[in-house]
Amino acid sequence: MKADEIDYQLIGDDLQGVIVTLDPEEAVVAEAGAMMYMQDGIRMMTSLDMTGRGGNKLMDRLFSAGKRVLAGDSFFVTIFVNDSTMRRDVAFASPFPGKIQAIDLKQWRGTIIAQKDAFLCGARGVDVSIAFAKRIGAGFFGGEGFILQKLTGDGLVFLHASGTLTEMNLAPGEILRVDTGCLVAMEPTVNYDIQMVPGIKTALFGGEGLFFVQLTGPGRVILQTLPFSRLADRIIAASPRAGGRRVGEGSVLGALGGLLDGDR
């Protein structure tokens, strides 16, 4: 099915949202819990299939929903339809600090492979399914797991990831080595594998882990500067209950604050 042609506006900087403007009868599909607001005239509904029209057989819709669950999305999808006679807005927000990137699937040859949970919303007519890491090593050590999201269609989709996003275009045979967890999305033509960090001393004391993700062109890739798992590790490590130290740690006020709020 041809995707709806939606208009959009990105808002914010590090805590971004996207405002999608729908013409009458147009619709946008989003992951559960992503909606920020919707104007009067927008109807929200849940469905097993991403069209919301129930045209497929029940088993086909159940199978499609199961693939979405494996890819990190919810069993049901939420569809927002403009039932009014004028243009209406519906807005979506990222669940954590980072950036939202608009992807026109027509410019990505109709398919993009993304990290699990990257899909935020998209025009009705796009499909979210699963793609498997082709190599066992990439699944274990690539930072993305064995199951990736596969987005197909000819419309707009919106991906979200933590940190800042950058896009690179690899020439045929060009190799790019990326830290594990920093890969957000890529074209299917890009070969995705892992490579061990050369040298025992570098691997043990270089601070970059034991493996790199190796991407070989041709094709485009999108990278993130700060994987959310790395950010979460730093927050947990800095927590007083995890042995981290407080702000103002060397002052009397810092110690007094700890006594007053019960952290010490």
Q: Which of 90, 71, 68, 110 is nearest to 18 (CA)?
A: 90
| Lowest model confidence (mean pLDDT) among 59-73, 74-88, 202-216 | 59-73
C-alpha dist (Å) from residue 238 to 50, 209, 231, 243: 41, 21, 11, 7
Local confidence band at 97 (pLDDT 50, 70, 90 cut-offs):
confident
Q: Does the pLDDT at position 241 exceed 90?
A: no
Q: Could you identify the residue written with the tokens 């927590």?
A: 239
d(CA 75, CA 70): 9
pLDDT value, residue 203: 46
Local confidence band at 24 (pLDDT 50, 70, 90 cut-offs):
very high
d(CA 201, CA 219): 33
Q: Does the pLDDT at position 250 exceed 50?
A: no
pLDDT value, residue 216: 94
Q: How many CB atoms lie within 10 A of CB 114?
A: 26
Tokens of 48: 């097993």
Tokens of 156: 């707009």
| Lowest model confidence (mean pLDDT) among 65-74, 138-147, 183-192, 231-240 | 138-147
Averaged pLDDT for residues 115-123: 89
pLDDT value, residue 143: 46
Q: Does the pLDDT at position 210 exceed 90?
A: no
pLDDT value, residue 231: 74
Averaged pLDDT for residues 87-99: 91
Q: Does the pLDDT at position 22 exceed 60?
A: yes
Tokens of 29: 């599909």
Work out the mean pLDDT of the chain and round it to a whole number: 78
pLDDT value, residue 89: 97
Local confidence band at 220 (pLDDT 50, 70, 90 cut-offs):
very high
Look at domain 7-235 and name its CATH class: alpha beta
Residue 228 has φ and ψ, to the nearest 5°, of -65, -35
120-174: pLDDT as tens digits: 999 998 988 877 655 444 444 444 445 788 899 999 999 999 889 999 999 999 9
Report whether 51 contacts 64 (CB < 8 A).
no
H helices present in the chain, as ranges: 58-70, 136-141, 200-205, 228-238, 252-260
Q: Does the pLDDT at position 19 exceed 60?
A: yes
Q: Does the pLDDT at position 65 exceed 70?
A: no
Q: Does the pLDDT at position 179 exceed 70?
A: yes
Averaged pLDDT for residues 205-215: 67
Q: Does the pLDDT at position 247 exceed 60?
A: no
More confident residue, 152 or 61: 152
Local confidence band at 251 (pLDDT 50, 70, 90 cut-offs):
very low
Q: Which DSSP state fits 235? A: H
Residues making up the chain, counted from first to last: 264
Which amino acid, residue 264? R
Q: C-alpha angle with apex 166: 148 to 6, nearest 5 degrees? A: 70
Residue 68 has φ and ψ, to the nearest 5°, of -65, -40
Q: Does the pLDDT at position 180 exceed 60?
A: yes
Proportion of the chain above pLDDT 90, given as a percent? 42
